């Protein structure tokens, strides 16, 4: 009898232990990745996230994900959208985006203006890891965050005083094509006494003018370095007084003591305190609340539009990329690593809209983007962040082929141009497809002669017609994107 109860106890103990072990295992089985998607406005973030979600939830219907091992090796089971993690962050509007792309006529999703989130639960069968002995099915939870790259452009401000920032911004405003547009605003500022008492109304009025200038730099001149980035993409801060400041010219010529002791209600005192508040409440806050949590990051860049726009636009994109990459400065002495210690272990650069060029131009696209990020990329590699660059089209809008020109085979693409794409409407009645060789992408950062003999025209295309929301969207290398970002979590 005593022997029997002893063995029952032993069995119960063992069962308990087994249960505990299996609970523990389940906790480790369920993996989690927080993926951040960024890039300057119009770089293709919304199209990218829509395609990524679409490829995963419709896997098996239509386009293939041959280079994504979990699909290729048959351990991918299914993916579905589930309620997002943070209810206070706007939801990424997948439904509207996919409806636009699959409507007749198909249109691109509407521009977005702030941060948004979406969560996917991806089921897979573990095949290689130890998990295969424990379970037939594991779940990878994927949190995707879309946020404007413009917000990262504000990062360098954290290191600058208001005086330093004003000096740098003023010199930017007085050079290149920005100068002509800034003249009127700067003349107005020169007439103001920085130590005179200022009103909220005056500040609001001038900040509005400065914001209009930033919009003009971005949208009319095609420039990328916009500071503060929040001014053109304010998200939920639209109209808040914290966004009402601007650089004040010639602060260096002011008496240092007088500047330091300027009263809080003077023009310069008000500008300085708004600037400091902006740095603390907006820039630092974003990093604390969001940036800190990201595991993996994709930075999208449209290099083709700045190539179309010319030398200044391209140089500005280069500067913007450098500023954006400061966010990933892991150097031990880096200010940002101490402030935020980001835990990102994989960083992907996507040269978007690769379907705007013929396929043999994809390698030069990658080489060019690599050149743009060269210095920073080396730093990142050194600090053990895995970095990759790919030429991608999230939603392929053209078909590629070969055409005969003067007896020679010439690579071409065919698609339907968007009506504002610069194609003469007399040459192309809207709705007709065109077949073109849009031009060669330079492998290296273009030199002076290049801009003079510039003979390409990258055209914007409408999405292909007849797409179905329950099938995979046509794409270029989205499977390689998934392979880099997720495959190691699904083995």
Ligand X SMILES: Nc1nc2c(ncn2[C@@H]2O[C@H](COP(=O)(O)OP(=O)(O)OP(=O)(O)O)[C@@H](O)[C@H]2O)c(=O)[nH]1
- Which tokens is 462 given? 């409408």
Query: Between residues 153 and 385, which has the closer beta carbon with respect to Mg ion?
Result: 153
Q: How far is the CB of 151 from ligand X (least distance, A)?
A: 11
Query: Between residues 246 and 458, which has the closer beta carbon with respect to ligand X?
Result: 458
Q: How many whole angstroms from its chain centre is CA 404?
A: 38
Query: Between residues 356 and 489, which has the closer beta carbon with respect to ligand X?
Result: 356
Contact 45, 156 (CB under 8 A): no
- Return the one option of Mg ion, ligand X, none that residue 393 interacts with (CB less than 5 to 8 A, by type): ligand X
- Return the one option of Mg ion, ligand X, none that residue 373 interacts with (CB less than 5 to 8 A, by type): none
Cα–Cα distance, 161 to 423 (Å, whole number) = 47
When asked if residue 112 is in the footprint of Mg ion (CB under 5 A), the reply is yes
- Return the one option of Mg ion, ligand X, none that residue 41 interacts with (CB less than 5 to 8 A, by type): ligand X
> Which region among 15-23, 58-66, 112-120, 256-264 touches Mg ion (by CB under 5 A)?
112-120
- Return the one option of ligand X, Mg ion, none that residue 166 interacts with (CB less than 5 to 8 A, by type): none
Q: How far is the CB of 226 from ligand X (least distance, A)?
A: 12
- Return the one option of Mg ion, ligand X, none that residue 74 interacts with (CB less than 5 to 8 A, by type): none
Q: How far is the CB of 45 from Mg ion (least distance, A)?
A: 5
Query: Between residues 182 and 352, which has the closer beta carbon with respect to ligand X?
Result: 352
Q: How far is the CB of 370 from Mg ion (least distance, A)?
A: 25
Contact 111, 104 (CB under 8 A): no
CA angle 344, 444, 172 (to 5 degrees): 70
Cα–Cα distance, 250 to 193 (Å, whole number) = 12
Query: Between residues 151 and 162, which has the closer beta carbon with respect to ligand X?
Result: 151
By CB under 5 A, name the one of 34, 38, 43, 46 that touches Mg ion: 46
CB atoms within 10 A of CB 224: 28
Question: What b/e readout covers 342-371, taking b as 16+ CB neighbours within 10 angstroms?
Answer: bebebbbbbbbbbbbbbeebbebbbbbbeb
Q: How far is the CB of 432 from ligand X (least distance, A)?
A: 17
Query: Between residues 43 and 376, which has the closer beta carbon with respect to Mg ion?
Result: 43
- Return the one option of Mg ion, ligand X, none that residue 47 interacts with (CB less than 5 to 8 A, by type): ligand X
Q: How far is the CB of 481 from ligand X (least distance, A)?
A: 12
- Return the one option of Mg ion, ligand X, none that residue 299 interacts with (CB less than 5 to 8 A, by type): none
From residue 5, alpha-carbon distances to 2, 14, 16, 423, 472 in Å are 5, 14, 16, 88, 60
- Return the one option of Mg ion, ligand X, none that residue 355 interacts with (CB less than 5 to 8 A, by type): ligand X
Size of site (CB under 5 A) for Mg ion: 3
Q: How far is the CB of 255 from ligand X (least distance, A)?
A: 43
Query: Between residues 206 and 307, which has the closer beta carbon with respect to ligand X?
Result: 307
Sort 283 into a burial class: Cβ within 10 Å, 0-12 / 13-18 / 19+: buried
Q: How far is the CB of 473 from Mg ion (least distance, A)?
A: 16
Label the pairing between strands 346-351 and 296-301.
Answer: parallel
Query: Between residues 348 and 393, which has the closer beta carbon with respect to ligand X?
Result: 393
Cα–Cα distance, 145 to 297 (Å, whole number) = 9
Q: How far is the CB of 487 from ligand X (least distance, A)?
A: 22
> Which region among 71-79, 106-114, 173-181, 325-333 touches Mg ion (by CB under 5 A)?
106-114
Q: How far is the CB of 114 from ligand X (least distance, A)?
A: 9
Q: How far is the CB of 37 from ligand X (least distance, A)?
A: 9
- Interface positions with ligand X (CB under 6 A): 39, 41-47, 108-109, 111-112, 148, 352-353, 355-356, 393-395, 397, 460-461
Closest CA to 355 of 401, 288, 295: 401
Q: How far is the CB of 142 from Mg ion (least distance, A)?
A: 19
- Return the one option of ligand X, Mg ion, none that residue 34 interacts with (CB less than 5 to 8 A, by type): none
Query: Between residues 47 and 122, which has the closer beta carbon with respect to ligand X?
Result: 47
Query: Between residues 157 and 478, which has the closer beta carbon with respect to Mg ion?
Result: 478
- Return the one option of Mg ion, ligand X, none that residue 58 interacts with (CB less than 5 to 8 A, by type): none
Query: Between residues 71 and 144, which has the closer beta carbon with respect to Mg ion?
Result: 144
Query: Between residues 194 and 229, which has the closer beta carbon with respect to Mg ion?
Result: 229
Report the interface residues with Mg ion, using CB under 5 A.
45-46, 112
């Amino acid at each position: 009898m005593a022997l029997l109860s002893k063995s029952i106890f032993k069995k119960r103990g063992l069962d308990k232990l087994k249960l505990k072990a299996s609970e523990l295992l389940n906790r480790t089985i369920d993996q989690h990745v927080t993926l951040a998607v960024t890039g300057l406005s119009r770089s293709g973030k919304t199209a990218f996230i829509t395609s990524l979600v679409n490829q995963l939830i419709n896997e098996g219907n239509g386009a293939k994900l041959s280079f994504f091992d979990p699909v290729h090796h048959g351990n991918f089971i299914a993916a579905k959208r589930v309620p997002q993690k943070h209810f206070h962050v706007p939801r990424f509007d997948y439904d509207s985006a996919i409806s636009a792309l699959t409507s007749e006529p198909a249109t691109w999703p509407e521009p977005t203006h702030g941060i948004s989130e979406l969560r996917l639960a991806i089921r897979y069968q573990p095949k290689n890891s130890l998990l295969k002995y424990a379970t037939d099915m594991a779940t990878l939870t994927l949190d995707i965050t879309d946020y404007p790259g413009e917000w990262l452009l504000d990062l360098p401000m954290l290191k600058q005083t208001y005086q330093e920032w004003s000096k740098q911004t003023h010199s930017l405003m007085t050079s290149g094509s920005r100068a002509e547009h800034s003249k009127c605003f700067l003349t107005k500022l020169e007439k103001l006494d920085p130590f005179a008492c200022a009103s909220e109304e005056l500040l609001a009025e001038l900040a509005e003018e400065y914001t209009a200038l930033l919009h003009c730099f971005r949208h009319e001149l095609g420039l990328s370095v916009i500071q503060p980035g929040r001014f053109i993409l304010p998200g939920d801060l639209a109209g808040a007084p914290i966004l009402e400041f601007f650089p004040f010219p010639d602060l260096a010529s002011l008496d240092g003591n007088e500047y330091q002791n300027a009263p809080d209600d003077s023009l310069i005192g008000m500008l300085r305190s708004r600037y400091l508040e902006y740095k603390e409440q907006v820039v630092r806050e974003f990093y604390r609340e969001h940036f800190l949590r990201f595991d993996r990051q994709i930075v999208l860049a449209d290099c083709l539009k700045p190539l179309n726009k010319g030398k200044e636009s391209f140089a500005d994109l280069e500067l913007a990329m450098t500023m954006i990459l400061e966010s990933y400065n892991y150097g031990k002495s880096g200010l940002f690593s101490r402030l935020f210690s980001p835990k990102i272990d994989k960083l992907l650069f996507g040269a978007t809209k690769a379907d705007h060029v013929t396929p043999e131009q994809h390698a030069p696209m990658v080489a060019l983007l690599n050149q743009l990020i060269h210095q920073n990329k080396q730093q990142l590699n050194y600090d053990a962040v895995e970095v990759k660059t790919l030429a991608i089209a999230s939603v392929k809008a053209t078909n590629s082929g070969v055409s005969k020109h003067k007896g020679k085979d010439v690579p071409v693409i065919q698609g339907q141009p968007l009506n504002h794409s610069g194609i003469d409407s007399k040459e192309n009645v809207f709705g007709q497809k065109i077949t073109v060789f849009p031009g060669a992408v330079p492998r290296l950062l273009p030199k002076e002669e290049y801009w003079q003999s510039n003979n390409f025209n990258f055209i914007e295309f409408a999405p292909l017609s007849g797409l179905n929301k329950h099938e995979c969207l046509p794409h270029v290398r989205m499977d390689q994107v998934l392979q880099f970002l997720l495959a190691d979590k699904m083995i």
